Structure 1
Amino acid sequence: MQNSFQYPIGTPGTKWTDSEVQQWRESTSVKRLYNEDVLPKIDALRESLDVVQYGALSYDEARFPLFALKTRAWDAKKPTILVTGGVHGYETSGVHGALQFAKNNVQDYQDAFNIVIAPCVSPWGYETINRWNPNAVDPNRSFYQDSPAEESANLMAFVASLGTDIWAHIDLHETTDTDESEFRPALAARDGLEYIEDNVPDGFYLVGNTEKPAEAFQKHVIGFVEKVTHIAPPDDNGKIIGSDVVQHGVINYPLKKLSLCTGMTDCEYSTTTEVYPDSPKVTEQECNDAQVAAVVGALDFLQTSM
């Protein structure tokens, strides 16, 4: 349904120019620090994992270095698994769930897989609690050649530099109340479109690949996650965020068409997690645990498929 809310930046029906983008950027503020919340946790893992700097954001290269973690028992004969978090920097459990998995669980799987973890793809977004980067570009719609998003371009270049195929990619995200109160209205304003209100689902769900849906894989992951948190039900139209529910807690997107993070490779298995941190039924720790459960569930399935 149409929403009467008018975003405070821009003119309704008119796309933003550089002036509106600057106005939007000036409206943001730092709310937490990457070098306090994230970088120390990465540094603490240097004894057990290889820490690789794969770039830095030009907004402030000293402040926003980009790091990935790699298992040390690397072997070209083993399949390679990619785990990403913080592609949307505001989605907190994506970042800290990836780091929790790296700290507590990755060693259980390094004999079977090469595992690469990029825990905070968008550190500027992390600090300002934003979906976009400072140029009002969504990194998770920018995974294509000559990407306008540094966050996406750096990650794609790093993954390509690994010189190996990615067998599976698990991308850790959240769907929050601010998706409807801030980010979707801002998107409509930026693009000069009408904002149509939608509902935020109460619970966890997965986004699979329309071209490679991998139904059994998605079902296995949901089975692990629902031991930790509740799964989002479909709405009255059998949908979650406007997409058909294809099985319990799962919808599909055309990943490459939308230039999503999980579409940047031709991996056989991919899933995007969506934790709902604003539910009164969950705690911050349970959100992180749900992200870890999704990665563990994915790896458990893949081990049985080898």
Structure 2
Amino acid sequence: MSDIPAFYPIGTPGTPWGDAERDAWRTGQQVKRSYRDDVLAVVERLRDRFNVRQYGELHYGADHYPLIALKSREWDDRLPTVLVTGGVHGYETSGVHGALQFLERDAGDYAGRVNLIVAPCVSPWGYERIHRWNMQAVDPNRSFVADSPAAEARALMALMEPVGDVLLHIDLHETTDTDESEFRPALAARDGKPNEPGEIPDGFYLVGDSENPQPEFQRAIIEAVGKVTHIAPADARGELIGSPMVAPGVINYPVKSLGLCAGVTNAPYVTTTEVYPDSPRATPQQCNDAQVAAVRAAIDFVLDRGAR
């Protein structure tokens, strides 16, 4: 991949960033789209159908971002609870817009069947700048831990702490070509480590929890999404992004020990979607549709089994 820099243009190879390097990185991050127009405007249209809750607010310099979750209006403690999260990595566009599309077009099909909590854009600063990190150059999706360094993660953990049992959590993500051209080189530079180029999977895949993998659940989602977009094949080593493929389109991570958003609850059914938006075989709408298909298949699976 000749477009991957030999070293990142900020910092000194082999030396972790300090305040000066973080400041230089932050100066280069420019607003490219509007959280208010793209997300909050859609939320306003949904106020008559959901309970809209502001569960926090980010104060990043002059920028203030309300953090919004939508909950079933007719909450029933006898029903199973489903959590849908998007935009934990703000640059992963279909995670945000797929969550909003599900709320607008599909969530009504599950009224009276599940309690829904949907946080469509966990990292709005990153959404506006099309970046993986927050303003402090911290990855929110490695920050769902005690004493979290990311305000985005702390706010979502506080939202979920009093909820009680959650049956299902589906976290909507993308793997993009910029993971290799920008974000992994930036990570290596930030941490003073060598950058080791990898291979971006060509298609949709899932990340399950290695401590509770639920292979039938993962398979049901892959089958549903395969009707919308192509599923990523394993590379020559039988892997996806450096992890063994345990079933078609499925790898597993230890989600809690890695501090991933997928570990924010103790839900027995957990998965992270990974859409591939840079494929010539997938349109932006197809990517949103794939996210919705994954959410629907996940909910249908647990309901079909009468889980509570």
Give the TM-score category using the shorter length: over 0.9
Q: Give the equivalent residue in structure 2 for 1:85.
A: 86
SS in 1 for 2:70: strand
Q: Does 2:124 match 1:123?
A: yes
1:58 alignment counterpart: 59
Specify the alignment match of 1:211 in structure 2. 211
Residues 202 and 232, structure 2, Cα contact 8 Å, conserved in 1: yes
Q: Secondary structure at the match of 1:256?
A: coil
Instruction: Kindly indicate whether the alpha-carbon contact (under 8 Å) linking 1:35 and 1:63 is maintained by their aligned counterparts in 2.
Output: no
Find the aligned partners of 1:61 and 1:113 in 2 and give their Cα distance: 39
Shift of 1:63: 3.5
Q: Which amino acid aligns with 1:287?
A: C
Q: Residues 131 and 146 from structure 1, CA distance in 2 versus in 1: closer, same or farther, beyond 3 angstroms?
A: same
- Give the distance between the partners of 2:184 and 2:63, measured in 1 at CA: 31
For 2:229, the equivalent position in structure 1 comes to 229
Q: Distance in 2 between matches of 1:80 and 1:228?
A: 26
TM-score by length of 1: 0.97
Displacement over 4 Å in runs of 4+: 1-4
Structure 2 Cα separation of the partners of residues 25 and 289 of structure 1: 33
| C-alpha separation in 1, matches of 2:274 and 2:174 | 4
Aligned residue runs from structure 1 range 162-241, under 5 A: 162=163, 164-241=164-241
Secondary structure of 2:161's aligned partner: helix
Q: Alignment partner of 1:295: what SS?
A: helix
Shift of 1:166: 1.1
Compute the RMSD of aligned alpha carbons: 1.4
- CA 1:297 to 1:124, structure 2 compared with 1: closer, same or farther past 3 Å? same
Distance 1:49 1:61 in 2: 30
Alignment-mate amino acid for residue 180 of structure 2? E
Match of 1:300 in 2: 300
Q: Which amino acid is the alignment partner of residue 125 of structure 2?
A: W
Q: CA deviation at 1:60?
A: 5.5
- Counting matched residue pairs gives 305
Query: 5+ unaligned residues in a row in structure 2: which ranges?
Result: none
Q: What is the TM-score normalised by the length of structure 2? A: 0.97
- Counting only pairs closer than 5 Å after superposition, residues 103-114 of structure 1 correspond to structure 2 as 103-114=104-115
Name the counterpart of 1:287: 287
Would you say the 8 A contact 2:95–2:173 is kept in 1? yes
Q: Deviations over 1:90-130 (max 9, x none)?
A: 00000000000001111111211111000000000000000
Partner of 1:161 in structure 2?
A: 162
Give the Cα–Cα distance (whole angstroms) in 2 for the partners of residues 42 and 120 of structure 1: 11
Structure 1, unpaired ranges of 5+: none
Question: What corresponds to 2:139 in structure 1?
Answer: 138
- Determine what percentage of the aligned residue pairs are the same residue: 59
Deviations 1:156-181 (A, max 9, x none): 0001133x211110000000000000
DSSP 3-state at the match of 2:69: strand
Looking at structure 2, the residues matched to 224 and 148 of structure 1 have their Cα atoms a distance apart, in angstroms, of: 36
User: Aligned with 1:166: secondary structure?
Assistant: coil
Aligned-residue offset at 1:264: 1.6
Paired with 1:62 and 1:149, the residues of 2 have a C-alpha distance of 16
Query: Which secondary structure state, in structure 1, belongs to the residue aligned with residue 94 of structure 2?
Result: helix
